[in-house]
Amino acid sequence: MTEQEILQRAQAYIAEETDDAFRKEVEELVAVKNMAELEDRFYQSLEFGTGGLRGVMGGGTNRMNTLNISKATQGLANYIIKSFPKEAAEGTLKAAVAYDSRNNHEKFSEITARVFAANGIKTYLFTGLRPTPELSFAIRYFGCQTGVVVTASHNPAEYNGYKAYWNDGAQVVEPHDKGIIDEVNAVKEVKLISLDEGVKSGKIVLTDKEVDEKYWELIKGELFRPELIKEKASSVKVVYTPLHGTGGMHVEKVLGDLGLNVITVPEQKKPDGNFPTVEKPNPEEAPALKLSVELAKKEKADVVMATDPDADRFGTAFPDKNGEYVLVSGNQMGALLADYIFLSRKELGKMPAHPVCIRSIVTSSFVDAVSKKYGVRPQECLTGFKWIAFDEAKLEKEGKEQYVFGLEESYGYLVETGIRDKDGVSAAAMCAEMTLYWASKGKSLLEHLNDMYKELGYFEDRSISKYFPGVSGPGIMAGIMTKLRTDGLKTLGGKKVLKIRDVQSQSEFDPENPSVKSSLPWPKSNVLQFFLEGGTVVSARPSGTEPKIKFYINSTVPVNGANDEGLAKAKEEAKALCDKISSEIMAVLDAAK
């Protein structure tokens, strides 16, 4: 873009933006002609993607701000009105809006509600910050046609986002995602009323405790052993961190009602969109749990629990025999939860006739082995929890098989069927009960995890992420994926590639005979997977919400002898393989320009 084009875009934005703070940012940049910063803010428009919006906050077309959110909401409202003509004619369209602790949360959620209300859509707006899974619950509870949660999940503090949901409580998927995008791109005018006008007219209804209490009831109603919890809960000490987010009130309430001794990390208890104690409020990353692990050592806690800012992700750490806390990966916790849920259903006679466990394609097959042990059919879906919810709804509609658990490696789990998104609060409650159950059998969760490895084989998972920010970032990541598709990979870590799965072309094939392809059942997605001899799978996927590309390594090694010595050898072999594959992937990333 030329300097003149950038300045023209900036002036057009200044004329449209109603928020003083965002408008002033751009006015000051224009006044000093900071062209580098202006180019980054205006070289493109922040796109409404398949899940909504996410980006750095600030003034500009390529930023998260009130103008972009109002246009997105107008497009979503237009699509809802067209999709539900009967309700639109009757004036019974409804939406729910929630937000987490991110900066500008009230500003962004209020303008969302005001646009919905101006378009005749009755909107239930939470009075305070709430977890994303509660928004999913609220949509179903109030019988809404849509919903929005203002969150950027576990992204750094400068980000915010906007997730759009459908009437089933799940994030929008095709064909609705593309239909909404078309409507958003076609918006010429935004309808808007004031918050006061919306509340007085009844088009905006403020809500909180009513939904909270029903949500808590749902979570506690999914637990299997209330008698065990009542008897043993006081013996378990939990250190918990909400990472300055929304989880505090809910996790403390639910676990407290169960009688557990919950100690919340004081420095991270208060909601704060600046996330002052962490670089990234992401329970997947060890630095985010540093304070909670330190407190757990001091308190001699039985378990460390963490939720991300919108409390849909759930992370844990457990003490080993030496009192050192071991962070449990998303794949490991998913397998542990699956094992406990399936075991409990079997023991208590609650396993349905045709149970199904759903995981994303980049999640370890560890949970597949667990599922098969209990007679549960494992099923794959695309990355993103909306696809787990989509498949869950499809199973429910068809009525032939029954959903019993869903998970993704990025610390997302769905225990209950009354919600259509991952839920860190319910995962915390189920993890607490699971901890009590194995303690009653004389085992820690780490000990039981090792028992599972001895029986099913050892599974190790790694992830490698590299960021490519700025104008050139998307092109670099596209070049990496093109090179992988064009040149292919014959081996990784000294292991032969037996199969390549290219979700973008919706096909699988043997690299030695690439002309013979089998089709995949999923929509196109920019994901490549390499299946190696021995069972290891390596996946490559550019992020849809951040300027990064991510590689997933899911290795599996048999445990000979099913004993401690055999497990130790399997761990050594898996580590060496993952180290070698990681080194080869980093060489590819470092060479990218």
Active site residues: 153
For 260, list phi and psi in degrees, rounded to 5: -75, 150
Residue 237, beta-bridge partner list: 261
Q: Which two tokens stand for residue 278?
A: 């962490």
Q: Which two tokens stand for residue 431?
A: 């993890």
Residue 328, beta-bridge partner list: 316
Distance CA 111, CA 19 (A): 11
CB 304 within 8 A of CB 292: yes
Max CA distance (Å), the chain: 73
Residue 199, beta-bridge partner list: none
Amino acid at the residue 408: E
Residue whose C-alpha is closest to residue 77's, from 174, 191, 169:
191
CB 251 within 8 A of CB 305: yes
With H, G, I as helix, E, B as strand and everything else as coil, classify residue 277.
coil
DSSP 62: T
Neighbours of 513 (CB within 10 A): 8
DSSP 543: -
Summarize the chain as % helix, strand, coil (round to 5): 45, 20, 35
Q: Which two tokens stand for residue 1?
A: 């873009």
Distance CA 464, CA 580 (A): 13
Q: Are strands 146-150 and 94-99 parallel, antiparallel or unpaired?
A: parallel
Neighbours of 51 (CB within 10 A): 20
CB 395 within 8 A of CB 403: yes
Distance CA 320, CA 310 (A): 29
Residue whose C-alpha is closest to residue 304's, from 528, 32, 315, 80:
315
Distance CA 305, CA 247 (A): 11
